[in-house]
Amino acid sequence: MNTTELKAKAARYVKIVEWSDEDRCFVGTCPGLMFGGVHGPVEAKVYAELCQAAEEIIELMEREGHRLLPATAGKKFSGKVLLRLQPAVPQRLALQAGTSGESLKAYPTRKLVAG
């Protein structure tokens, strides 16, 4: 596979570079394509190395006949998440929402977004 094709395939995967206080450097990951990542003191260099690593993984997987995981870049989300819960969970959420003055829709959303 040529370099242009590899770059195009690698571009289909989200790449994240962020500062890590714990590691005291930039850490780059590519969820959905590889575990682990790359790290270093210069953000742009970490990103370039991450892109190269993604290309190498794609090339290796295809050469060994492995199927690539679905692409993560450009994926659209509806904003809906369907969960199957034990009946006691929505009941408990409704009680917690009521005591905080929020609706059953607003309360879990706020809790999920807040982390």
Mean pLDDT of 40-58: 97
Q: Residue 111 phi/psi, 5° resolution?
A: -65, -40
Question: Which band of pLDDT confidence, cut at 50, 70 and 90, is reported for residue 19?
Answer: very high
Q: Are strands 25-29 and 16-20 parallel, antiparallel or unpaired?
A: antiparallel
Q: What is the pTM of this model?
A: 0.67
DSSP string, 3-40: HHHHHHHHTTS--EEEEETTTTEEEEE-TTT-SSEEEE
Question: Which band of pLDDT confidence, cut at 50, 70 and 90, is reported for residue 115?
Answer: low
Cβ neighbours of 9 (radius 10 Å): 19
Q: What is the mean pLDDT of the chain?
A: 90
- How far apart CA 100 and CA 80 sit, in angstroms, is 23
